Amino acid sequence: GENVGLHLPTLSVQEGDNSIINCAYSNSASDYFIWYKQESGKGPQFIIDIRSNMDKRQGQRVTVLLNKTVKHLSLQIAATQPGDSAVYFCAENGRGGATNKLIFGTGTLLAVQP
Amino acid sequence: DTAVSQTPKYLVTQMGNDKSIKCEQNLGHDTMYWYKQDSKKFLKIMFSYNNKELIINETVPNRFSPKSPDKAHLNLHINSLELGDSAVYFCASRLRDLYNSPLHFGNGTRLTVT
């Protein structure tokens, strides 16, 4: 697929295991964070978000953890499935009034082995 | 029923040509964006429009000219195409007043300049 030879940070897990994808963000003023999943040939899809007044949020099979002290975000996927194979991006949205924009981190390629 | 749709999906053209990419969203959002994704999968914001008004321009060469005929459409016109313009271009949208809301992305236009 188009991700072959990409040299992205890669996380390889066995089907059924839990996955943890990490992200460091840059702006301590950022107050809203999102995880996106991008499958081959598609646009980024929203997975889960979290505001800076929270440190944990759970969705269906996914949990996002936010540590503002060290500016770190993680995405946990429970019971990883082959369909979870994709590139995952974290994004931060800083306070900015008119400049309301999402800044994306470097993606992580999740490869699920059957 | 696609929420954010871009055309064309693939665009192959020669250096020096002028081309356009179209984007439409049917989500009722008032803010639209163009992002560029390079060969390393890095996503970078280019422009943002709110209700047909340009609000973000991230020092993109003026060969790139976005046009928003109405708040549901944001087209991207590129003059004098260069090899370095080869990338995947994503359109996205969201409701500006919902500050903490995710962007919804289209499936991208892969531009190849030869």
pLDDT in tens, B18-56: 999 999 999 999 899 999 999 999 999 998 888 888 888
Beta-carbon count within 10 A of A96 CB: 13
Average confidence (pLDDT) over A34-46: 96
Sign of CA dihedral A101, B98, B30, A36: positive
Q: Residue B99: list chain A partners with CB under 8 A.
A: 32, 93, 100
pLDDT at B114 over 50: yes
Is the CB of A44 less than 8 angstroms away from the CB of B90? yes
Beta pairing partners, A91: A34, A104
Q: Pick B55's closest partner by Cβ from A98, A103, A104.
A: A98
Distance from C-alpha of A14 to C-alpha of A48, rounded to nearest angstrom: 23
Please tell me the distance from the alpha carbon of residue A77 to that of residue A112, in angstroms, as a whole number: 12
pLDDT band at residue B3 using 50, 70 and 90 as cut-offs: very high
- CA–CA min distance A32, chain B (Å): 6
Q: Which residue from B minimizes the CA distance to A41?
A: B107
Q: Could you say which DSSP state residue B111 is in?
A: E
Structure tokens at A82: 């082959």
Q: Is A44 on the interface with B (CB under 8 A)?
A: yes
Q: Rg (Cα) of chain B, in Å, rounded?
A: 13
Convert the pLDDT of each residue in A6-22 to its tens digit: 678 999 999 999 999 99
B109 inside 8 A of chain A by CB: no
CB distance A109 to A9 below 8 Å: yes
**Cβ pairs A/B, distance under 8 A:** 62
In the β-sheet with A72-77, what is the strand arrangement from edge to edge? A19-24, A72-77, A62-67, A56-58
Task: Dump pLDDT digits (tens) for B57-91.
Answer: 887 899 999 999 998 999 999 999 999 999 999 99
